[in-house]
Chains A and B, each alone.
Chain A
Amino acid sequence: MALLTLKDVSKIYKQGDIEVHALKGVNLDVAEGEFTTVFGPSGCGKTTMLNLIGALDRPTSGHLLFNDKDIGTMSKNEQALHRRRNIGFIFQSHNLIPVLTAFENVEFALQIAGDGKGSNSDRVQNILEQVGLGTMMHRRPNALSGGQMQRIAVARALVKEPKLVLADEPTANLDSETSKEVLEIMVRMNRELKTTFVFSTHDPMVMEYAKRVVEIRDGEIARDERKG
């Protein structure tokens, strides 16, 4: 069964009198545990698609089903609750909360989700160790490198064991070595936790890690390819 279904999803932005068709009748199914990359040049609609899937925005038309529930028709509060329970986000700029330590940034996400699955402290420590930051968990973001911050962002997205992790160009601000490390962590998490990942990227290296590549051009799916 598909975790995520996009049915004829369109998104139109209005810029003054001009209408920009960011997505044009997109249809897509994402199964549980998939590791999918949405690929395409800048401005093709990747981020718009991720924003819609993440319930940060609403489609202009069409249906967006998450476990058969239409998230496009949810109220703002329902969308917020859906995000806190089901979705983890990783952004291009790590967007950590600067006044919290690495540990607290991750624990905060867990507290918001409030799923009560065991001790928060142990889970946070465990995930930070898994992303290789076990010794730096009490540092604040300004005392960490870009790669370390992005690893915390990964840990923050994964700690609540969401059904879906959305990553919008997660390696765009990282050097190739750090990008590799971060991607490998995500692949491992996908394998171990069976978490569904949907990435957006225009970095060909990222695609090497994906099991499925969805290419978007001018707001439409141009290619949808599963590997091996």
Chain B
Amino acid sequence: MMYLIRIALRNLLRRRSRTLVIGSILAIAVVFFLLIESVMVAMMDLSFKNAIDFETPHIEVSRQGLIDEEAKGNVVPLEETFSISNSTEETIAGLADYQAATPVLDFSADFIAGRYTFPVLVRSIEPDSFSQVFYHDQYVQTGAFLETGQSGVVIGERLAQFFDLDVGDYFTLRFRDRQGSFNTMEGEVRGILATPHPDMNLRTVFVAREAAASRLGLANDAANRWMVRLTQRGSAPEQSQELQASLSNSQLVARSYREAAEFLVAVEAWGYIETYFILALFLLVGAVGIVAAVILSALERVSEIGIMKAMGLRENEIVRVFVIEAGGIGLVGGLIGCILGALSVGLFVIYGFDMSFFLDIDAMSAFPLQGRLYGAWNTSSFFFILAVVVAIALLSSLLPAYTAAKKDPIEAIRRR
């Protein structure tokens, strides 16, 4: 076996150019995969993080009717509000990784300032508990975040730019109350936010729940969501299920952030499908290259195959020589790809890239992301892609290697 490996490796060196050309194709596939995977992981990780920190925390408790209406893209229905019982609150607080929870009363409204109107989601909050679940208060650009019992509104920077508003300027919110009659809320802009979540900066405004509930014709403790923050993200799906089991007798539904952010989950899945599809195309080209390399190698070494058979090597042993060679090409390509990939990912991790440079602002607004995106290291991807490339090289060489090994030794020896 040692000699079979030696012959294979020396033949790889002997045909350096061929080895490098085919290895390069595989290396390109590896670099592509590692970079795209790093972008995907970083993008999805940051998207989920921003969604959790600014939109939907680890677990959200609401009524099924609200989820259904939202899925249809309708305005937030005020019929789906609820007042949470003490026992439910205790159940939520009893979750293993519980950190904090806050009630939220969302409703749809038109934001009016001057001559302009813009449709927004009004998020009515209890500022103290809200700031234990979400991080908006840490991203106040001007003014201040809401305080308990305070009137007024906190808006995002893009909405402020749209209306040319500043702290202290007046606004009007127009909405339908519980009875379906139009009602309004007026006041001053208290603060302007600049969060990493673009939707929060444009389409969401924050008011105190107490003031909003009375204008909506709802009880003061009415909410349509209970937002729960856990100490760790990983346990959210499991604890959401546990909570759901405890809530089975109520009309409430518990969802983890992954269920709530269906769009992101779908984008994540499609992103990976696309990545693997393009990777498969690259690897297919590499596999064709390897097949060609093994065929060429076998044609060049017919008499060598003949003498090895005459010396008593069996067909499967001759196959091994060619398979090892192909595996060597795969390993060379995979390693070069991993080195170049590590350099590329390293640069991406250090310098990142401006997402608006690659995608227009409307396309980006579908993601809870903005600004620069920095790459993520995923060491297991390096091992995975190296194993895939070597395995593809080995597999694609099998058929031509068997064909070569089946050559008639008498004919093979005669050939020069």
Contacts and interface: CB of A to CB of B under 8 A. Distances in A.
A80 interface: yes
A104 B6 contact: yes
B310 A56 contact: yes
Interface stretch (A23-31, A105-113, A121-129, A189-197): A105-113
B410 A112 contact: no
A17 B155 CA distance: 93
Contacts of A93: 303, 413, 416
A77 B309 CA distance: 10
B311 A91 contact: no
Contacts of A54: 310
Interface stretch (B132-140, B312-320, B370-378): B312-320
B71 interface: no
A144 interface: no
Nearest to B2: A111
A193 B187 CA distance: 112
Contacts of B309: 56, 80
25 contacts: A54-B310, A56-B309, A56-B310, A56-B409, A57-B410, A80-B312, A80-B313, A80-B314, A82-B312, A83-B311, A84-B311, A84-B313, A87-B312, A91-B413, A95-B306, A95-B307, A97-B7, A97-B304, A99-B6, A100-B10, A107-B3, A108-B7, A108-B311, A112-B3, A156-B311
Interface in B1-51: 2-3, 6-7, 10-11, 14
Contacts of A113: 312
B312 A97 contact: no
Contacts of A107: 3
Given A56-B409, A99-B11, A81 B307 contact: no
Interface residues of B, number: 23
A96 B310 CA distance: 12
B307 A91 contact: yes
A79 to B, nearest CB: 9
Contacts of A108: 3, 7, 311
A89 B313 contact: no
B313 A99 contact: no
Nearest to B13: A99
A84 B6 CA distance: 19
A219 B315 CA distance: 31
Contact of B413 (A80, A82, A95, A96): A95
Interface residues of A, number: 30
Contacts of B14: 98-99
Contacts of B10: 99-100
A21 interface: no
Contact of A112 (B306, B311, B416): B311
Given A51-B410, A77-B314, A100 B6 contact: yes
Contacts of B409: 56
A76 interface: yes
A7 interface: no
A85 interface: yes
A83 B304 CA distance: 16
B411 to A, nearest CB: 10
Interface string A184-211: 0000000000000000000000000000
Contacts of B312: 80-85, 87, 112-113
B313 A112 contact: yes
Given A56-B410, A91-B413, A99-B11, A109 B303 contact: no
A60 B306 CA distance: 22
